[in-house]
Amino acid sequence: MEQTVAPQALSHVVDIDQAARILQKAERVLVIGCSGTGKSTLAQAIASLRGLAYVSMDRDIFWLPGWTLRPRPESIALIEKAVEGSHWIMDGNSPGTLPLRLPRTDIVIWRRPPRHIALRGVISRWFRYRGRSRPEMAPGCPERLDWKFLRYIWTFERNEAPQFQAMLERHGGHVPIVTLMSYRDGDELLSRLRNNI
């Protein structure tokens, strides 16, 4: 049975056209969403179009070689340093760090397609990078796929999304949020951004 996504209950929600106009001038952008939904691909495309520094939280903040998590104080220090920058786009989740990131953010892009899309994304990514690290991941962290990760994706809307919504309301009430429910939405956002630049 396909998952249904509850309508956005967040303030400052914008549509794709409004988001493209904001992105035309935005200097600091967050891209969030379940694994396998194309956060990194979209973030890198926007970084290229706008000349923004691309920050992958997996590669640049959280992971060390051998799938070792960086100590939390070090990760926090790296996030604080990254958000001090003047022009960046950051992809990654970690709702607990949104209080550090949202105050400096001009717009949040939430990739939120149905879970079968995310599952297909991580499985195809695993086939593509099996045995090696993908570019958005820290060196020495070969692509992996296990039941725990698949369960995380399957239950993301139920278990993780409410945490994001709470943090966005509490710490980002001033930040416009666009929700992309499909890859087509992401393509449309990029197309409109290109036309606006």
For residue 11, tell me if it sits in a domain.
Answer: no
How many Å from the N-terminal Cα to the C-terminal Cα in the chain?
A: 41
Tell me what pLDDT residue 178 has: 97
Residue 66 lies in a domain: yes
* Distance from C-alpha of 85 to C-alpha of 1, rounded to nearest angstrom: 44
State the 10-residue block means of pLDDT for the chain, 197 residues long: 46 89 96 95 97 96 96 97 97 94 96 95 94 92 94 95 92 91 96 88
Whether 16 is in a domain gets the answer no
Q: What's the structural domain count of the chain?
A: 1
Q: What is the residue range of 112's domain?
A: 25-196
Residues in the chain: 197
pTM: 0.91
Is 19 a domain residue?
A: no
88 has which bridge partners?
A: 28, 53
Place of tokens 């060390």: 64
Domain assignment present for 168: yes
What CATH number did the domain enclosing 86 receive? 3.40.50.300
Q: What is the DSSP string of 109-155?
A: EEE---HHHHHHHHHHHHHHHBTS--TTS-TT--B---HHHHHHHHT
Does 186 fall in a domain? yes
For residue 34, being part of any structural domain is answered with yes
Segment 40-48 long-range contacts (CB within 8 Å, at least 24 positions apart) = 40/91, 40/136, 41/186, 42/91, 42/109, 42/111, 42/180, 42/186, 42/189, 42/190, 43/89, 43/90, 43/91, 45/190, 46/89, 46/190, 46/193, 47/89
Coil, strand or helix: which one is 173?
A: coil
State the pLDDT at residue 10.
57
Please indicate, yes or no, if residue 8 is contained in any of the structural domains: no
